[in-house]
Amino acid sequence: MRLNIVQRIIKTHLLEGEMKAGEIVGIKIDQTLTQDATGTMAYLEFEAMNIPEIKTELSVSYVDHNTSQTGFENADDHKYLQTIAEKYGIYYSRAGNGICHQIHLERFGLPGKTLLGSDSHTPTCGGIGMMAIGAGGLDVACVLAGLPFYFAFPKVLKVNLTGKLPQWVSSKDIILYLLELLSTKGNVDWVIEYDGRAIKTLSVPERATITNMGAELGVVSSIFPSDEITYTFLKAQGREQGWTELKAESDAEYDRIIDIDLSTLEPRLATPHSPGNINLVKNLQGTKVDQVCVGSCTNSSYKDLMAVVRMVKGRRLPSNVSFAVAPGSKQVLRMLSDNGALTDLIDFGARIMESACGFCIGNGLAPATDSVSIRTNNRNFRGRSGTLSANVYLASPETAAACAITGVITDPRNLGIEPPEISIPEKFYIDDKMIIPPDRRKKDLKIYRGPNIGNPPISEPLTQDLIGEVAIKVGDKISTDHIMPAGIRLKYRSNIPKYAEFVFESVDSTFPERCLANKRQGKASFIIAGLSYGQGSSREHAAICPAYLGVKAVIAKSIERIHWANLINFGVIPLIFADVTDYDKIKQSDELSLLGIDRAVKENNTFVIRNLSKDTDFAVKLNLSEREREILLTGGLLNLIGKKAKG
Ligand code: MIC
Ligand code: SF4
C-alpha cells in the first residue's frame, strides 16, 4: 500500500490497532494544547489520575477564551492553570499572549508530529504539516498521562488545488467553497489532505485558515504537506531546525479526490446561522451592515490584518458601523505596532481588542438586536455572538474590510481599489516572554484552587434498565453552543452544578429543571435529536452537564465525532435510530423504557426501546468499539481508569 501523508503519520505513531478503514487505532500523541475554557476540567481530570508529571514531548496550556475577568472566576481559574502548568511540566501561555491555535502555529507546531488539543480548531496546525486533532478535555488528560489517543482509522479525502486565486479571493473563500460542497454534516471519520500545484501559492497562515475550518466540515483533521513554504515560515519564526519534509508516497491511495481550480473561485460568505449556509458575496451586496469584526483563530495572522490595514488606511469608518480588530497573537499585535499599521487602524476608527478569542466566543461585542455582523471567524450558530436575534455572516478579511469601508455587504472586487499584496515577513518579531516555560524545580508546588474550582464529575456504572422521559426533542445540526452556551456563561466552566443550570439555555431554558425533577423521582432523562447532533466545539461540558442533570442517553439520527466521544467518556449512551422515520413518532415528554440496556451495550446489539406513552417500539443501533463499551459499562472513562489503576 502506497501511503498518503495521513497514513504515514499514523504509521509512525501507531501504538494499537490495525490501519484498516473503520478499525479503532490508538496513536502516540507528541504534543497537546489546552485552552482555559476546557483546560481547567481537563487538568482536574488529569489530577484525578495521580500521575506525577506529563508524558508528552511538549504540552501547552493557553489562556485565551475567558479573558474578560468579569468577577473573580476567570482570574482564579487562570491561577489554577498556572500552578498546574508549573507543577506538571507544561508551558503556560498567559492571558493576552494570543489565541492558542495562532500561537501554536507560530511557536510550537512541527511538521510530522501529532497534536491533540481540547479545542475543535486544533487542526489549524495541519497548516504546518501536523496531524492535529481536537478532542474533549478528558481525552487530552489521558494523553498527558501517557495513554494513546483512540479514534477510527480515517478515510482520506484528497483536495487537489490547481490554478491561482484571482485577485480579492482569499484562502477563506477556498474553505467556504468546500463547506458549500461538503456541508457541515456527514464528514465524520474523514481527514482532508491538501495537495496539487496550487499549494505552493499558499503561505502557512493561508493554509492554516483552511485547516482551521475543517472543524466546521466535521472532519477529524486537515493537513498540508510540509514543503519549502513550511520551511520559509518556520525560518521566519526562528524555528527552521524543526522542519522536515512531509509528502505522500507517489501513487498514494485516497478514498476520494476533489479537484478545485482556484482561478474559478469568487468571494463567499457563510450566511446566518450555519457555517455551511454559503452564498456568493455578490448576491448579497447592499445589505446594511452594523458591525464588522476581524480576528479569531481563523483569520488573525499578520498577513490577514495587514490586508485589512492596506484597505482601510486613510479612509473613514461609516457612522453606522462598529469595527473591531483582535490580532491573533502578541506577535501580530507587536508587528502591527512596529510598522505603524496599528495607527492606521486606529485612525480609521477600529476598536482594538485584546489578542484573544473575544467576540468569536461571545465574550463581548454582542451585536445589537436584529443587526447584521460580518465576522472573519468560523462559527455563526444562532446566539453564539451573544445576541439571539443577530445575523452573523462569516467572510474573508478582505470582504470584511470592504463591508467596514462601505457600511453595506460589499464584494471587495467592486471597491475599485488595488488589491493588497501581503507577503510573509522574512523574520517575525519573536518574544516569548508571555510564555512561562516548565520548571521542574516546582514539582512540589501547591496548586491554587479558588472557590470556582469544583471537582471532576463522578458517574455511576450503567444500570441494567433505564426508564425515563424524553426531556427535549431537537432538530438537525444542534451544535454544542446550543447545548452549552459560552459567552457570559463561560466563567462557570470549572463549576459543573452551576454551569448545568444553562444547558439548552437558548433552545429551552426549562430543560435543566425538568431533568432535575426526573432525577429526584429516580427517572432518567433522554435527548432526542436529528442529524449531526453535537456539531462544533469540543467542549466536553456539553456531555458532562447533561450527565450531571441525569441524561442517560442521546437518541439521534447521527452524532458528530468529538461529541460522541465526550458522551461516552461521561457515561451517556449514544444511540442511533435504526429507521430515521421513527424520529418523527416520538414527542417531547414521552416516557421511554430501555430494559436490558446494559446487555445491549455489552453485546453491541441493535436494541428495541419501548415508548410507554405511545405503546410502540422502535429500534436503535449501538455502533460502539470494544473500548467504548467498557467505558459505558463502568460509567465513564475516569471510572474505568480508576478501576484499572486498582487492578
Ligand atoms: C469554540 O470555538 O467553540 C471553542 C470555544 O473554542 C470551543 C472550545 C470550548 O468550548 O471551550 C471549541 O472549538 O472546541
Ligand atoms: Fe477561540 Fe473562536 Fe478559535 Fe474557538 S473558534 S478557539 S473561540 S477564536
Q: Quick one: which atom of ligand 2 is closest to the CA of 37?
A: 7
Please state the atom number of ligand 1 nearest to the C-alpha of residue 539: 10
- Cα–Cα distances (Å) from 560 to 47, 480, 538, 624, in that order, read 28, 10, 10, 14
CATH number of the domain at 532, please: 3.20.19.10
- Could you tell me the pLDDT band of residue 151, with boundaries at 50, 70 and 90? very high
Tell me the average pLDDT across 115-132. 98
In a domain, 39, yes or no: yes
Helix, strand, coil % (nearest 5) of the chain? 35, 20, 45
* Rounded (10°) CA dihedral 263, 269, 270, 273: -170
Going from the Cα of 151 to the center of ligand 1, the distance in angstroms, rounded, reads: 20
Residue-level pLDDT at 69:
84
> Does 556 lie in the same domain as 481?
yes
The answer to whether residue 190 scores a pLDDT higher than 90 is: yes
Pocket probe mutation, ligand 1, options 119, 379, 478, max atoms within 8 Å of Cβ: 119
Asked whether residue 234 is domain-assigned, the answer is: yes
Name the residue with the closest Cα to ligand 2, atom 7: 361
596 with 506, same domain: the answer is yes
The three cell numbers of residue 631 are 467505558
- pLDDT score of 70: 86
| Residue identifier of the C-alpha nearest atom 1 of ligand 2 | 357
Number of domains in the chain: 3
CA of 536 to the centre of ligand 2 (A): 11
422 in a domain, yes or no? no
Residue nearest (by alpha carbon) to ligand 2 atom 2: 360
The domain of 566 spans: 465-645
DSSP string, 40-105: HHHHHHHHHTT-SS--SSEEEEE--SS----SHHHHHHHHHHHHHHHHHT-EEE-TTSB-HHHHII
Instruction: Report the candidate in 555, 565, 579 with the shortest Cα–Cα distance to residue 627.
Output: 565
372-419: pLDDT as tens digits:
999 999 999 999 999 999 999 999 999 999 999 999 999 999 999 999
Q: In the listed set 206, 239, 263, which residue is the last one of a domain according to the structure?
A: 263
Q: How confident is the model at residue 605 (pLDDT cuts 50, 70, 90)?
A: confident
Task: Enumerate residues lining ligand 1, CB below 6 A.
Answer: 37-38, 65, 119-121, 134, 361, 379, 486, 536-539
- What is the per-residue pLDDT for 440? 78
Instruction: Tell me if residue 307 falls in helix, strand or coil.
Output: helix
Ligand nearest to the CA of 41: 1
Q: What is the pLDDT of residues 532-557, one digit of tens each?
A: 999 999 999 999 999 999 999 999 99
Q: What is the pLDDT of residue 444?
A: 84
Residues 398 and 511 in one domain: no
Tell me what pLDDT residue 402 has: 98
pLDDT confidence of residue 429: 98
Q: Which of 43, 120, 492 to mutate to test the pocket of ligand 1 (most atoms within 8 A of CB)?
A: 120
Mean pLDDT in residue range 415-442? 94
Q: Tell me the CA–centroid distance for residue 523 and ligand 2, in Å.
A: 37
Provide, rounded to the nearest whole percent, the portion of the chain with pLDDT above 70.
100
Is residue 419 domain-resident?
no
CATH number at residue 276: 3.30.499.10
| Four-residue CA torsion sign, 491, 497, 498, 501 | positive
Reference 526, options 590, 430, 576, 449; nearest CA is: 590
Whether residue 111 lies inside any domain: the answer is: yes
Taking the CA atoms of the chain, what radius of gyration do you get in angstroms?
24
Question: Do both 227 and 372 map to the same domain?
Answer: no
114-117 β-sheet, strand order: 131-134, 114-117, 31-35, 58-62, 91-93, 435-436
pLDDT of 126 > 80? The answer is: yes
Ligand nearest to the CA of 295: 2
Cell of 480: 454544542
Which residue's CA is minimally distant from atom 1 of ligand 1? 537
**How far apart (Å, rounded) are the C-alpha atoms in residues 540 and 138?**
8
Identify the residue whose C-alpha is closest to ligand 2 atom 3.
297
Q: Judge whether residue 647 has pLDDT over 80.
A: no
d(CA 459, CA 637): 10
Output the pLDDT for position 112.
Answer: 98
Average pLDDT, the chain: 97
Question: What's the CA-to-centroid distance between 48 and ligand 1, angstroms?
Answer: 23
Q: Is the pLDDT score of 646 beyond 80? A: no
* Ligand 1, pocket-test mutation among 216, 361, 375, 544, most atoms within 8 A of CB: 361
* CA of residue 121 to ligand 1 center, whole Å: 8
Atom 6, ligand 1: residue with shortest CA distance: 119
Helix H, strand E, coil C: the string for 625-642 is CHHHHHHHHHCCHHHHHH
Residues 410, 476, single domain; the answer is: no
Domain end (from 414, 431, 452): 414
pLDDT digits (tens, 9 = 90+) for 237-275: 999 999 999 999 999 999 999 999 999 999 999 999 999
Instruction: Tell me what pLDDT residue 234 has.
Output: 98
For residues 407 and 520, membership in a common domain is answered with no
How many Å lie between the centroid of ligand 2 and the Cα of residue 633?
34
Tell me which of 75-89, 159-173, 347-361, 442-456 is least confident.
442-456
Asked if residue 520 has pLDDT above 80, the reply is: yes
Q: Is residue 442 part of a domain?
A: no
Is residue 276 domain-shared with residue 370, that is, in the same domain?
yes
pLDDT value, residue 25: 98
Q: Are residues 470 and 566 in the same domain?
A: yes
| 3-state class (DSSP) for residue 162 | strand
Q: Tell me if 451 is assigned to some domain.
A: no
Statement to judge: residues 57 and 131 lie in one domain:
yes
Q: Is 415 helix (H, G, I), strand (E, B) or coil?
A: coil
Distance in Å, CA 537 to ligand 1 centroid: 4
349 and 316 assigned to the same domain = yes
d(CA 548, CA 519): 10
**Pocket-forming residues, ligand 2, beta carbon under 6 Å:** 65, 99, 119, 121, 296-297, 357, 360-361, 377-378
- Residues of the chain with pLDDT > 90, as a percent, come to 95
Q: Tell whether 237 and 275 lie within a shared domain.
A: no
Of 263, 296, 315, the domain-final residue: 263
pLDDT band at 642 (very low <50, low <70, confident <90, very high): confident
Decide if pLDDT at 631 tops 90: yes
Task: Determine the pLDDT at residue 577.
Answer: 98
Answer whether residue 429 is part of any domain.
no
Examine the domain organization and report whether 246 and 307 are in the same domain: no
Give me the mean pLDDT over the 148-153 stretch: 98
pLDDT for 446: 93
